[in-house]
Structure 1
Amino acid sequence: MRLSFAVIALLLLWVGVAYAFSPNYPMETFKLDLDAPPSERWNHILDRYNASVPYLLKYFKDEFAELEKRLVNQVLGDLHNIIGEELGEEIKGIAKYWNVDVGTILGINLMYEFRKLMGDHHFNITPNSTDSKSVHPPGIFGCVSMVAQDLEGRVLHGRILDWNLPNELRNASFIVEYVSNGSVIFTGINSIAGTIGMPTGISKKGFSLSINERSLGGDLIEDSIDALLLGGAEVVLFARQVLTHARSYDEALDMLNKHYLAAPVYYILAGSKPNEGAVITRDRSILVNLWQLNVSASVPDSWYLLETNYDHWKSPVPYDNRRMYGVKYLKQLGQNVGASMAGLLDVLFTWPLRNQFTMEVILMNPKAYIVQAFQVFNVTTQSPFYVH
């Protein structure tokens, strides 16, 4: 059915107003002691989110097909060799503390490879368009990550994480300060209680990192699991390893460029020095493209990089042009405002970058080691755009 321009305009107005007034709250912060036994180190955080367990179990039951559950069991059979003993013990410890099946917790931690993180489809209605191709079958948008350098050479890092989670699970995201020998080594944003990977984080070593989905999490789901079984790093868990072990922006860049992964991904990196910013486009085994900040007064709009869920050198699909809107908003503000904490946060909270599937809005300053993270709740769950 072809929607008229008037109908599309009314829907956009209604949903846009709902976004503007949908609630968002700063996230709670916890400390995680890396010197504690791996099987116990999450317990004090898990206790805070006991009420989320029934919703987490329901999500796993409803969203994971039987084939996917069988693939989880393949990984579970060799858990320590595949993700390492330390992280394997963390997953087992979470399952034990909540008294749930280890396979469920593992499955939740493999959501990127199972295409559950950010979803199976992207969706948009392009404003001011009567083209029926601009209306796509319901799904979700995906993620936005951007780095922007101000006039003083400071680099900021903003990100939006979209995930089609019910509101009952959106309040299960939180900030984690990872502590070793009594000192914080990095801060991560945990998207849902029960997961141990870090899709977003900032290191004391002067860099920040975020993940955007590429090619809907990879090719066939089985390919991602095969890659895991052959030694490929789980994408989100590897981000945590980089935040834990990289000693500089350059070392983080090198690790993200070279390591064998279980699925294609975009890693977005920002540093504490001028021109330290990159969008790293990865296939499983190779670096596909390295797009780096190279700010020059003679090159217009060279002060930012913006990545959604499509290779930056290609045109996005017509029903999901968040890139165009993000670039438009940054250009309107200009470097003086757009590369400030307030300006970049304003861009992140503007539709369609922030939309009905947005569950996190995060802003990081690697040089000053500042992170601001907000939970976003959906007030349009009964809209025609919502996918149960």
Structure 2
Amino acid sequence: MDIPVVFTLSSLYILAILCCCSQGQSPPYEAECVEGKYPPPSSRRVKEYVVNLDLPGKERWKHVAAEKKQEIKNILASFKKYIYDFGGIAAEIWYLIDLLGPAIVDVLPQPFQDEIRGISDVTGIEIGEVTLYNIFYEIFTVCTSIVAQDSNGTLYHARNLDFGLFMGWDPKNRTWEITELLRPAIVNLDFQRGGKTVFKSVNYAGYVGILTAISPGKFTLTMNERFTLDGGYIGIINLILTGKGTWMGFLTRATMEKAESFKEARAMLTSTQMIAPAYFILAGNTSGQACVITRNREVNGTDTWWMKEAGGWYVLETNYDHWSKPLFVDDRRTPANKCMKKLTQKGVGIPGIFDVLSSRPVLNKLTTYTALMQVNQGHLETWLQYCPDPCFPW
């Protein structure tokens, strides 16, 4: 089997990083704590759309899908090329996704079945591919989430969403192909019933689940991927064999629609069997009400790490269990903690946290956006992020 050139080049670059670290040399970037990065240029602010939950599922996403049709097609075309470059069974799997798409979507819960059908109708993309688009975020994301409390007890919740590792390294521009294609597809969404906001979120257009969201006045939520051997592929097989398990994005969407409080949201996120493990970073509307929920696929083994246990005024999660050391080539946690401590509790606010999330290597080549939330004000703002060289590839 021929090895794709993009994979070979990205692998060589990563091997170079590993060699530097194993020989005690510094990787080709400098950890930093930047200041004065907020606000970014207005051109980087993400546009907001309304999703009307009173409409039938097939009608809800028409305007977003129509406006972002080409962006969604570009993402899937790149992902498809990446799969076909491997040939063999990988290409056959994609063929089966196209062939069995209608049957695959039939096993999803409502309203997600109809919403995905509606997106497929508007974009003209095969329904199996739209379904795949709605589940592969459970497998490939790396992120940094922070909940911090200012000196008055006000909570701020923010996150970087990084996506595209190993998916097409462009040696000329030194970027990840999927990461570059995802940025134009980022949208802010205001989910409404009866003309009133139920919750707000940040999504890649065409994705109906939730990775970043705020229920105004109630709680905020972000999801970070958790890498374990008991991962998403095993969960998918278990779902096929037993019918047990919930897609992470559908669980978070249901939580945002149904939970009326931090307590109810926490109960939903800790008591539902999942297809893939995850970290849920959850914050409420009162001082100290913030935690990281570390989830297995099964409900057993769930760990809740509270802000007061993390140091009192903030809690920070990347993609590693808080009781374990991060992978030495992907230690965003130590620089992020360093920058938070430099910021101090007095500096907590939208500008200060944005600076922390704009500091390399918390900001890296995979970072697509930074979202900033304040629950009491119902505030959500999202900015496209870029990391010019020198910058770590993940």
TM-score by length of 1: 0.81
Which of 206, 209, 219 is the matching residue for 2:230?
219
Deviation at 1:375, TM superposition (A): 1.4
2:296, 2:194 → 1: CA distance? 36
Which of 258, 275, 283 is the matching residue for 1:270?
283
Which of 229, 245, 249 is the matching residue for 1:236?
249
**Structure 1 residues 13, 351: closer, same or farther in 2, change over 3 A?**
closer
**Structure 1 residues 273, 220: closer, same or farther in 2, change over 3 A?**
closer
Deviation at 1:233, TM superposition (A): 1.0
Matched with 1:147 is 147
Given residue 43 of structure 1, which amino acid in structure 2 is its aligned partner? K
Matched with 1:202 is 214
Please tell me the root mean square deviation across aligned C-alpha atoms, in Å.
3.1
**Structure 1 residues 67, 227: closer, same or farther in 2, change over 3 A?**
farther
Q: How many residues align?
A: 350
Deviation at 1:209, TM superposition (A): 0.3
Matches within 5 A, 1:1-388: 2-3=19-20, 11-12=28-29, 25-64=44-83, 65-66=90-91, 68-69=93-94, 70=96, 77=103, 79-80=105-106, 82-113=107-138, 115=139, 117-118=140-141, 142-164=142-164, 165-190=178-203, 192-215=204-227, 219=230, 221-229=232-240, 230-286=243-299, 287-294=301-308, 301-337=311-347, 339-377=348-386, 379=388
Deviation at 1:316, TM superposition (A): 1.0
Deviation at 1:219, TM superposition (A): 3.4
1:169-218, CA deviations, whole angstroms, 9 ceiling, x for partnerless residues?
3111010000101111100101x2211111000003510000101016x6
1:270, 1:72 → 2: CA distance? 39
Assess if the C-alpha contact under 8 Å between 1:227 and 1:263 holds in 2: no
TM-score by length of 2: 0.80
Matched with 1:126 is none
1:76, 1:224 → 2: CA distance? 21
Deviation at 1:14, TM superposition (A): 12
1:237-264, CA deviations, whole angstroms, 9 ceiling, x for partnerless residues?
2111111110101100111011111100
In structure 1, the residue corresponding to 2:137 is in which secondary structure? coil
Matched with 2:4 is none
Assess if the C-alpha contact under 8 Å between 2:46 and 2:383 holds in 1: yes
In structure 2, the residue corresponding to 1:363 is in which secondary structure? strand
2:213, 2:117 → 1: CA distance? 23
In structure 2, the residue corresponding to 1:57 is in which secondary structure? helix
Matched with 2:174 is none
Deviation at 1:231, TM superposition (A): 3.0
For structure 1, the residue ranges without an aligned partner over 5 or more in a row are 119-141
Matched with 1:128 is none
**Structure 1 residues 10, 245: closer, same or farther in 2, change over 3 A?**
closer
2:98, 2:292 → 1: CA distance? 30
1:213, 1:11 → 2: CA distance? 25
Deviation at 1:220, TM superposition (A): 5.3
1:171, 1:27 → 2: CA distance? 9
2:26, 2:373 → 1: CA distance? 35
Deviation at 1:168, TM superposition (A): 3.2
1:262, 1:74 → 2: CA distance? 20
1:292, 1:14 → 2: CA distance? 27
**Structure 1 residues 247, 11: closer, same or farther in 2, change over 3 A?**
same
**Structure 1 residues 205, 74: closer, same or farther in 2, change over 3 A?**
farther
In structure 2, the residue corresponding to 1:176 is in which secondary structure? strand
Deviation at 1:384, TM superposition (A): 9.7
**Structure 1 residues 68, 362: closer, same or farther in 2, change over 3 A?**
farther
Given residue 222 of structure 1, which amino acid in structure 2 is its aligned partner? Y
**Structure 1 residues 280, 53: closer, same or farther in 2, change over 3 A?**
closer
Given residue 12 of structure 1, which amino acid in structure 2 is its aligned partner? Y
**Structure 1 residues 49, 75: closer, same or farther in 2, change over 3 A?**
closer
Given residue 202 of structure 2, which amino acid in structure 1 is its aligned partner? I
Assess if the C-alpha contact under 8 Å between 1:143 and 1:161 holds in 2: yes
Deviation at 1:378, TM superposition (A): 5.5
2:218, 2:128 → 1: CA distance? 36
1:60-88, CA deviations, whole angstroms, 9 ceiling, x for partnerless residues?
312443365347877852534x4312110
Deviation at 1:288, TM superposition (A): 2.4
Moved more, 369-378 or 275-284: 369-378
2:322, 2:136 → 1: CA distance? 24
Assess if the C-alpha contact under 8 Å between 1:159 and 1:362 holds in 2: yes
**Structure 1 residues 76, 205: closer, same or farther in 2, change over 3 A?**
farther
Deviation at 1:324, TM superposition (A): 0.6
